[in-house]
Amino acid sequence: MKEIQCDIAVIGAGTAGMTAYRTAKRAGKRTLMIESGPYGTMCARVGCMPSKLLIAAADAAHHARHTAPFGVHVDGNIRIEGKEVMDRVRRERDRFVQFVVDDVEGFDAEDKVRGHARFVSEHVLEVDDHTRITAGHVIIATGSTPVRPKELEPLGALLINNEDVFDWTDLPESVLVVGTGVIGLELGQALARLGVKVSIINRSQSLAGLSDPEVREAGRAIFNQELNIRADVTVLGSEVVNGKARVRLQVDGKELVEDYDYVLGAAGRRPQLDNLGLDNTPAQWVSKGRVVYDPASLQLKGTSIYLAGDVNQRAPILHEAADDGRLAALQAVSNGQDEPMARRARMAVMFTDPQVAVVGTPFKSLPEGAVTGSVNFGNQGRARVMLVNRGLLHVYADKEGKFLGAEMVGPQAEHIAHLLAWSLQMGLTLDQMLAMPFYHPVLEEGLRTALRGAQAALRGK
């Protein structure tokens, strides 16, 4: 077995792992990057990019069907060629992945180790049966894997996840989506707009990661105008019948039996820590699949091991994963002596129509005395001009007027979310935010309305 010694070993070559590797190398440390699967980040291969490609096709179909209110009439049928849709998704996806592969191929050959890494002890890794690595520090950046509900396991290959969707060569006739988070709603709406019969179920009332009840229910009402979303549903069982996925559901106290081409499991993801041999280290387990780590330094308690990226479940977002990789590497380089770097303002965006965004402190975590400002996009000028006038934005501030966060369902939330995240990171107050220019007519004037509402609520106290 080949023996290698290094300062830092990185397990996983995704966004967090690649960033950790680069950061440690720039610091002059002997660094190894270990990968057991194909190169290419989750974002490029099965996440952000292919999902946006599918959504772009769905938006094109939707817009083509809804031109009449503008006085623009499209004669004839809108024809969706599923094979052409999926061909573009896969072709462009592969292009994005190749950029990542090319990047990795530029890394020093002696730094790349192929195979599955497993801890023999805190500082010793074995990669398959060919390499033994002794490392001063280890950064785990193995990502996450979809949760497979046990009630749906009998479906076998008909139980799919988002990673499977992007390898389709054609669109199916029907899909049951289990879960109303980012993956479930984004893909569910996209497939429905592309002509697939879609039903979405969830075991609770949760929706899109929204904790503000008014914003959540506004979103539910909007999405239910287009999609068949059922909450508080229990999956009783499943089986394959005549090549179809048959599921037994309890809905509103009644048992239903429904058949679909596929069932898309979108009920969350779990850390990919299986078979790493962490039991051979001092790592402490919170529960199955979760270990104790310091969210400030990403260090596993009592070890020289770090968790970076989706594997720590802190914030499964690309720029957060990159920051995790940088933070973990810097901590390893300094042997934990440097103060952990400051983190960016938190934000999450869902690319449904309308979009969903959560920035900073969510409603459920607001401190006592916090105020809320609101705008309903139903009568917002620019939104009505573009016929996207639906949605609700709530902004939150503390009792001193400092901006805390926001929750939103509405048009172009991705852009408003950035303005709010930047304001939060700069520590701005409501007064300072309202001192900024707002052009006319733009959707951001709706944001100004919400900020003024929070300001008025503060002054009314």
Q: How far apart are CA 349 and CA 187, in angstroms?
A: 14
In this structure, is residue 295 part of a structural domain?
Answer: yes
- Is 102 in the same domain as 79? yes
In this structure, is residue 434 part of a structural domain?
Answer: yes
310 is in an annotated binding site: yes
Do the bridges between strand 347-350 and strand 355-360 make them parallel or antiparallel, or are there none, so unpaired?
Answer: antiparallel
- Is 139 in the same domain as 7? yes
- The last residue of a domain, from among 310, 333, 356: 333
The pTM of this model reads: 0.95
- Is 16 in the same domain as 134? yes
| Number of domains forming the structure of the chain | 3
420 is in an annotated binding site: no
* Residue 141 structural domain: 2-146+270-333
pLDDT of 340 reads 87
- Is 261 in the same domain as 324? no
Q: What DSSP letter does each residue of 357-394 carry, written as one string? A: EEEES-GGGPPTT-EEEEEEGGG-HHHHHTT----EEE
In this structure, is residue 89 part of a structural domain?
Answer: yes
134 is in an annotated binding site: no
181 is in an annotated binding site: yes
pLDDT of 461 reads 64
pLDDT of 55 reads 98
179 is in an annotated binding site: yes
pLDDT of 398 reads 98
Q: Where are the alpha helices (DSSP H) in 33-77?
A: 42-46, 48-65
Q: What angle do CA 211, 213, 217 make, to 5 degrees?
A: 115
365 is in an annotated binding site: no
pLDDT of 31 reads 98
Question: What are the residue numbers of the active site?
Answer: 440
Q: Which bin fits 411, alpha (ψ -120 to 50), beta or left (φ > 0)? A: beta
Domain of 416, CATH number, reads: 3.30.390.30
Regions of the chain with pLDDT less than 70: 288, 461
What is the C-alpha radius of gyration for the chain, rounded to an integer number of angstroms?
Answer: 24
Contact 32, 113 (CB under 8 A): yes
Domain of 285, CATH number, reads: 3.50.50.60
